Amino acid sequence: MSRRILIVDDETLIRQGIQARLEYLGFEFEKIQEADDGLKALSVLQEEEIDIVITDIRMADMSGLDFIRQAKPLYPHIQFMILSGYAEFSYAEQAIQLGVSAYLLKPISNDELKKVMNTALEELEKREEQYRILKKGERILKENEQYLLEKNLNALLHQLEPLEGEALSLKQSIEVYFPLQNRKLMTILINIDGDSYEKDSYHYQDNQLIRFAIRNIFNESNIKSDKIIINNLSNSNQLFAILSNTCGVTLRAEAEQLLSIVQGNLWNRMNISTSIGVSSIKDYLFIKGTKEAKKAFQQRLIHGNGNIYFYDDIRLLDVMQLPTAQLHMLNQYIERLDIGNIQFMINTIFSDENIRKYNISYIRMMWVRIIGIVLKSSNSILEKEPEKVEQLVFDVEELVSISSIKQLREHLWSVIVDCLNLESNVDATAKNKMKLAVKYITEHYNEDIAINDLAERFTMSPNYFSSVFKKETGQTTLNYIKELRLKKAKEYLVGSEKSVVDIAKEVGYEDSQYFFKVFKKATGQTPMQYRKSCSKL
């Protein structure tokens, strides 16, 4: 994909030098703009679409930091880098606060410049892919009846009496779409954590897109219970979900399974953190279940974001000192695959004292928390071994039959190690899939190939597919397709008498002018110039 860069420095030689070094390192940009101070740089941003900005700090009229401070809220997608001759801590501190991608000190080596540029380009591609995923699915609620269902469910969740007056009427209207009669029900509150908006990937104006992603992942997850997810019409940062089943015995276990998968997928695919509150099992859908879900969710104020809180566990949470710090350490050890310390933390969390004090309820609650950590750290389980997740969550039922605390710890330890070892097996599978992906692209290069569709075809998330494809081929998917199209175009130009317009369409470009531009940029020649130069050989 074509990129545009802006270089901001008050010295012409430095601007030209940066441009020359980027060309020497093999970076190609559609357009390179220059400005000698922050005010002029802001003017450029108003007139041009810029992807990357490299700026000095000390300049006349407006400093680089003031420029970024004004520009970043207006152009949040831009990757800002500072190249400065000043190593003062205050500058670096301000740069971090502004969300600058890199703070580089002059003179910068070619290796370092190449590294930060590659990181910036990868981040741009990652963000754009995320937005494509979200915008592809972004639609206003299908039809009036879907909106009406959402409205009626919200109303029913706030009714005081479950089987009287308006509540009965609402229940009957919802029954057409979702089973409530003679059912066991759980009300679930899903909250988008503020952390999700603080990583520069998303902003509060992306709220509707994030909620769509949550709904999509929720609906993709398979359980035996009936399920439905809707917006919380009184809080745009939240959603309600309802689980319905004729039998209440497995309803909580299915809730644990479903919500663990949803949380893990949201984190791994989209870098979105959620906190979830779940009511106890009810015979009717009304305000009591809603209040319980909210009360459970409020436990995050004590025990932190990113967890699933069940109302039935509140009493236990109130009386015990939940080892939040221990879970945090376990999370760090799992991320580093620090096997010895993982085992140490398992023994600490499930100590003899804790088991005696808090019994099976403690085991169940901590099990779900630990599985959540494992799923967030091991994306391959969700993508490659979805049936493993069901086994992980339902295994908590088997713990009751374990005869000793030592056996319990060993069982938990073996399950976690088994999950983490899946990572090594995925690499080989992923490589094989990349070979098939290359074969598919070679056969369909002239069609409209989207990364999302490729990822879906090979049962991978778009981000994971892109990462593995680049690792195996040395190119991004888009560049690989572009180069293949150009290669085929050259063959047609040399080996046939087809017109440039026909060749453009033949290799996948409906817009011949765009093909002309891409070809010239890649070869330094127009298609006709290339054909003539080859005919002389």
User: Angle at the Cα of 406 (from 395 to 416), degrees rounded to 5?
Assistant: 45
What pLDDT sits at residue 448?
84
Superfamily of domain 479-535 in the CATH hierarchy:
Homeodomain-like (1.10.10.60)
What pLDDT sits at residue 428?
46
- Give the separation between CA 102 and CA 84, rounded to whole angstroms: 11
pLDDT digits (tens, 9 = 90+) for 159-186: 888 877 888 888 888 888 888 889 999 9
- Give the separation between CA 268 and CA 286, rounded to whole angstroms: 34
Q: Three-class SS string for 312-349? A: HHHHHHHHCCCCHHHHHHHHHHHHCCCHHHHHHHHHHH
- Give the separation between CA 229 and CA 215, rounded to whole angstroms: 6
- Give the separation between CA 521 and CA 482, rounded to whole angstroms: 12
- Give the separation between CA 309 and CA 293, rounded to whole angstroms: 8
Question: Binning pLDDT at 50, 70 and 90, where does residue 141 land?
Answer: very low
Topology of domain 144-311, CATH: Alpha-Beta Plaits (3.30.70)
What pLDDT sits at residue 49?
87
What pLDDT sits at residue 241?
95
User: What average pLDDT score do residues 460-485 get?
Assistant: 83
- Which residue, among 206, 230, 210, 209, has the nearest Cα to 219 in the 3D structure? 230
User: What average pLDDT score do residues 331-353 get?
Assistant: 75
Percentage of the chain lying above the pLDDT 70 cut: 82
User: What average pLDDT score do residues 393-399 get?
Assistant: 53
Query: Cβ distance 527 to 489 under 8 Å?
Result: yes
Q: Where are the domains of the chain?
A: 4-135, 144-311, 320-434+445-472, 479-535
Query: What would the CATH number be for the domain defined by 4-135?
Result: 3.40.50.2300
Mean residue pLDDT of the chain comes to: 81
pLDDT exceeds 60 at position 398: no
What pLDDT sits at residue 126?
85
pTM score = 0.47
What pLDDT sits at residue 243?
94
- Specify the higher pLDDT residue, 342 or 287: 287
